[in-house]
Structures are given as structure tokens and as C-alpha cells.
């Protein structure tokens, strides 16, 4: 994991948030390559789950919502983690993460298990208390109105369900998809971008007839499997499905499947899919006093739909993609090359174009022509003329560029270029127009 973190910092994928001022825990900034990789992942998700389907529609709700939203959903009362403080060094931790404990862990369990403070090594704990993770903020010119930064994107979908039904009137089943920021005041953010205080989510609320939820659940679960393996390039052997037992499920869920991934930090949750029943829509109907019923087209049948929710954390998925792609290989001369074997659809750049020698104007001019042609065709093309060609190859291997295109003196004569493959290091001569 440390090698991947260092690569991300060195090559401009991900940096510590506010690093110039000493950083801020639980926040991360994405550099030129990182933001491009993140956008590729989000675009692939949107294309797969929304654009290529006839039963999905997009929404983009506000980050700051009416506080009644969080009262109705139960977040103001139940969205909490167990917090404990070391009385010696005054560091605070999530109590359930200090060992094999549940969310209802008490201090006596820590004492019985002889849990030591990860910071100072002492065993002097405060009483465990529940800590609400929502960020509070003030709204309005006088700052008198209290609100929250949304802790999830899901409620923005539920509050717009009726708007979509009234304007689009889609056939059931249908889904509403949203991508956007969410904020959680994590007690102990950790493990790079895996658990942070500001992150992006990609969520779908899929509205179904309650009599067909099991069939629709399996279809969506199959789609999630296909997306992770075929579009994200994650190896099947590193993906695991956990049927969450009833006592570990969220209070609104009647079935939850967690999809876990073998990260370097261990097997951890990558995403989840939950059957939320009519919990959220009925909350809105009760609290807002507005009907959430769906009237089946061509009939008098009406009911409040049930919901299936596939939920993806963008940063966790990006971290899985990086971990799956990272490898080290021995090469001639006893050296080791670092390769980020990203799938071509996710790689920040598809091609890197270089003149063999940057001090030869005729090679640079021809290379610039090739660069402009490929950039106009694919967009995802970079230019590199720094150092010798070997160093350029190593740099592009590290950032995941699948192909390097080199213009040499033969290119001036016959219009062909050398194309070097990232994964095999094989080189071949190809006509520019065939790239």
C-alpha cells in the first residue's frame, strides 16, 4: 500500500488535502492524472448503468438539503459511530475498530480485551459514546438556520422521486442514478482514500413492485459483478460477496450484499447493494404529507414502490483499480520496472507521443503532427520529450499509458512510427493512419 501511495504522490494522482499548510486529516486532493482517472471511472459507471439502459434516469440534487430530510430518514438520531477517548494522550478512536467489536461496544469490552491505545500504548479509556457523523453548517445571512452537509447522496434521489414520476412518468421498474459529493465527520479517517471525510458516491435507487424485488435484486447484483470485472478490470479472485446477516444490516434493509475486495490493507467493503423496502418513501409520505404512490399505467393499481440500492464509493473503487493494476517486474540488467496496468478505458492517457531526439527539429515537427492527429481523434494523448527514450517508457509505465508512439528518422521517410506496448514492452512499426 505504501508503494501505491508514494506512486500516487510522485506522479500526480492523489495528494494530501491542503498539503502546503501541513495537510488536513481525512481529505485528499486529486492531481492531473488522479482527477482524470476518477472521471474515467465515473463516466464508465454512468455509461454502463444509465446511458446503456432504458430504465435509468439521472438526477443531481443539492448538497445542502432541508434539515427535515435527515429527521425523516433517521440520520439525526441514528447516523453515529461509537467514539472512545484515551485519557492519557487524548486521541479519539472508533471503538468498534479497536478489535472484533460491534457498533454497540462498551468500555468494559475494551478493558476485558486488554485493548491498548494505538497512539500511546496505555489502557485508560473513557466511556464509549455515540458520535453523530453529520457535518453541521449554518445557512442564511444571519446564520440562524442550521443545516447539514449531506452524509449520503441517496436522500437526494428519494426527495426527487415524485418529481420524476410527475414529469417523466417512467414505467416500473425504473432507477434514478446520482453521482456527487458526500461528507462524514469520521472519527478516525484512515487507509489512504478508503475512509475519508469528503468523498464521492455513485448510487442508484431502483424502484420496483414489491412482489418482484427478489428478481430485480439478482439482476442488479449481476450487473454490479459485470461492471466491476469487465469495465473496471478487477480480477474475479479478488472480489468476494458477503451476505450480510440480519443483525448486521442497516435498520431499513431486508437484504444486503456487501461486495468486498482484497486490498493491501485486507479484505474490505468495496460497495454494497441493499433492499431498502419502502422505508424511505414511506418516511417522506408520513413527514411531508404527500403521496408517494405509483399508479401503474393503464390500471387503477397503486402502491408505494420498494427500492433496491446499489451504492458505490468512487474513492474506494479508484483505490481498488490502482491496487489491481499495480505490479513490479524484473527486467534486463537486474532492474525493476513499476507498471500500472490500467485497463485502456480507464488509463488517463491512451497514447504518449515522443520524438526520438528532442534536439532534431524535423523529428519534433513530425512528432507534433502525429500528436495533433491522435489528440484530435482520441483526446487522451500526452506529449513527452524529457530524458532519453528509456526513461520516458518507464514514466509512462508508472502512470498506466498503454501505448508509446515514437517518431524517428524512418518516420520521415515512410510515414511509420514505433509503437511500444506497456504490458509486453513489444515494439512494432505502424503507419500513422492505422493508429
What is the band of 261 on the pLDDT scale with cuts at 50, 70, 90?
very high
pLDDT at 248 > cutoff 90? no
In the chain, count of helices (H) and strands (E)? 13, 23
Q: Report the distance separating Cα 399 and Cα 9, nearest Å.
A: 11
pLDDT of residue 339: 96
Angle, vertex CA 370, rays to CA 432 and CA 373, nearest 5 = 90
Strands of 291-412 (E only): list them: 294-295, 302-303, 306-313, 326-330, 336-340, 351-355, 381-383, 403-407
Q: Report the distance separating Cα 51 and Cα 171, nearest Å.
A: 17
Over residues 237-253, the mean pLDDT reads 90
Cell numbers at 148, concatenated: 447539514
What is the band of 80 on the pLDDT scale with cuts at 50, 70, 90?
confident
pLDDT of residue 140: 86
pLDDT of residue 79: 81
Domain at 2-68+139-322: CATH architecture: 2-Layer Sandwich (3.30)
Per-residue pLDDT tens over the stretch 328-353:
998 887 888 999 999 999 999 999 99
The answer to whether 399 touches 322, Cβ cutoff 8 Å, is no
pLDDT of residue 154: 94
Sign of CA dihedral 185, 190, 195, 197: positive
Per-residue pLDDT tens over the stretch 274-298:
999 999 999 999 999 999 999 998 8
pLDDT of residue 325: 97
pLDDT of residue 424: 94
CB atoms within 10 A of CB 142: 7
Q: What is the mean pLDDT of the chain?
A: 93
pLDDT of residue 151: 93
pLDDT at 313 > cutoff 90? yes
Per-residue pLDDT tens over the stretch 131-187:
888 899 999 888 778 899 999 999 999 999 999 999 999 999 999 999 999 999 988
The answer to whether 394 touches 388, Cβ cutoff 8 Å, is no
Domain boundaries, the chain: 2-68+139-322, 80-132, 349-434
Over residues 115-139, the mean pLDDT reads 90
pLDDT at 103 > cutoff 90? no
What is the band of 130 on the pLDDT scale with cuts at 50, 70, 90?
confident
Domain at 349-434: CATH architecture: 3-Layer(aba) Sandwich (3.40)
pLDDT of residue 294: 95
Over residues 403-411, the mean pLDDT reads 94
The answer to whether 205 touches 154, Cβ cutoff 8 Å, is yes
What is the band of 204 on the pLDDT scale with cuts at 50, 70, 90?
very high
pLDDT at 428 > cutoff 90? yes
Per-residue pLDDT tens over the stretch 208-241:
999 999 999 999 999 999 999 999 999 999 999 9
pLDDT of residue 397: 96
Alpha helix segments (H runs only) across 289-330:
314-325
pLDDT of residue 220: 97
Over residues 314-330, the mean pLDDT reads 96
123 or 42, which is more confident: 42
What is the band of 21 on the pLDDT scale with cuts at 50, 70, 90?
very high
Torsion angle of C-alpha atoms 187, 192, 198, 201, degrees rounded to 10 = -120
Closest CA to 279 of 103, 72, 132: 72
pLDDT of residue 394: 94
pLDDT of residue 252: 84
pLDDT of residue 76: 86
Say what percent of the chain tops pLDDT 70: 100
SS (H, E, C) the chain: CHHHHHHHHHHCCEEECCHHHCCCCCCEEECHHHHHHHHHHHHHHHHHHHHCCCCEEECCCCCECCCHHHHHHCHHHHCEEEEEEECCCCCEEEHHHCCCCCCCCCHHHHHHCCCCCCCCCCCCECCCEEEECCCEEEECCCCCEEEEECCCCHHHHHCCHHHHHHHCCCCCCEEEEEEEEEECCCCCCECCCCECCEEEEEEEEEEECHHHHHHHHHHHHHHHHHHHHHHCCCCHHHEEEEECCHHHCCCCCCEEEEEEEEECCEEEEEEEEEEEECHHHHHHHHHHCCCCCEECCCCCCEECCEEEEEEEEHHHHHHHHHHHHEEEEECHHHCEEEEECCCCCCCCCCEEEEECCCCCHHHHHHHHHHHHHHHHHHCCEEECCCCCHHHHHHHHHHHCCCEEEEECHHHHHHCEEEEEECCCCCEEEEEHHHC
The answer to whether 269 touches 258, Cβ cutoff 8 Å, is yes
Over residues 414-434, the mean pLDDT reads 93
Amino acid at each position: 500500500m505504501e508503494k501505491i501511495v508514494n506512486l500516487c504522490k510522485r506522479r500526480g494522482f492523489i495528494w494530501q488535502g491542503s498539503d502546503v499548510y501541513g495537510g488536513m486529516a481525512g481529505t485528499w486532493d486529486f492531481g492531473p492524472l488522479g482527477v482524470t482517472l476518477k472521471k474515467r471511472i465515473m463516466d464508465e459507471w454512468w455509461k454502463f448503468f444509465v446511458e446503456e439502459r432504458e430504465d435509468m434516469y439521472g438526477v443531481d440534487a443539492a448538497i445542502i438539503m432541508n434539515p427535515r430530510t435527515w429527521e425523516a430518514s433517521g440520520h439525526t438520531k441514528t447516523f453515529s459511530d461509537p467514539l472512545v477517548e484515551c485519557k492519557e494522550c487524548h486521541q479519539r478512536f472508533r471503538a468498534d475498530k479497536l478489535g472484533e467489536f460491534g457498533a454497540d461496544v462498551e468500555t468494559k469490552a475494551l478493558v476485558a480485551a486488554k485493548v491498548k491505545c494505538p497512539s500511546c500504548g496505555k489502557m485508560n479509556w473513557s466511556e464509549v459514546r455515540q458520535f453523530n457523523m453529520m457535518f453541521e453548517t449554518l445557512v442564511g445571512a444571519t446564520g440562524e438556520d442550521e443545516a447539514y452537509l449531506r452524509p449520503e447522496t441517496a436522500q437526494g434521489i428519494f426527495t426527487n422521486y415524485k418529481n420524476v414520476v410527475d414529469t417523466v412518468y417512467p414505467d416500473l421498474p425504473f432507477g434514478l442514478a446520482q453521482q456527487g459529493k458526500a461528507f462524514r465527520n469520521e472519527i478516525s479517517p484512515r487507509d489512504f482514500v478508503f475512509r475519508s471525510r469528503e468523498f464521492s458516491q455513485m448510487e442508484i435507487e431502483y424502484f420496483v413492485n414489491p412482489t418482484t424485488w427478489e428478481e430485480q435484486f439478482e439482476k442488479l447484483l449481476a450487473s454490479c459483478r459485470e461492471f466491476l470485472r469487465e469495465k473496471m478490470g478487477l480480477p474475479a479472485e479478488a472480489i468476494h460477496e458477503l451476505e450480510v446477516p440480519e443483525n448486521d444490516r442497516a435498520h431499513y434493509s431486508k437484504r444486503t450484499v456487501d461486495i468486498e475486495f482484497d486490498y493491501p490493507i485486507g479484505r474490505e467493503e468495496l460497495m454494497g447493494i441493499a433492499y431498502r423496502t419502502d422505508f424511505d418513501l414511506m418516511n417522506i409520505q408520513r413527514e411531508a404529507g404527500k403521496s408517494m404512490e405509483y399508479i401503474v399505467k393503464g390500471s387503477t393499481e397503486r402502491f408505494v414502490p420498494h427500492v433496491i440500492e446499489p451504492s458505490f464509493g468512487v474513492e474506494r473503487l479508484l483505490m481498488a483499480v490502482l491496487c489491481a493494476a499495480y505490479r513490479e517486474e524484473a527486467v534486463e540488467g537486474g532492474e525493476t520496472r513499476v507498471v500500472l496496468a490500467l485497463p485502456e478505458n480507464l488509463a488517463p492517457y491512451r497514447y504518449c507521443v515522443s520524438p526520438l531526439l528532442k534536439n532534431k527539429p524535423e523529428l519534433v515537427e513530425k512528432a507534433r503532427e502525429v500528436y495533433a492527429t491522435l489528440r484530435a481523434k482520441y483526446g487522451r494523448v500526452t506529449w513527452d520529450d524529457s530524458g532519453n527514450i528509456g526513461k520516458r517508457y518507464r514514466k509512462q509505465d508508472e502512470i498506466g499509458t498503454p501505448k508509446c508512439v515514437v517518431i524517428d528518422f524512418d518516420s520521415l521517410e515512410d510515414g511509420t512510427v514505433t509503437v511500444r506496448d506497456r504490458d509486453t514492452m513489444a515494439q512494432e512499426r505502424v503507419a500513422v493512419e492505422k493508429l
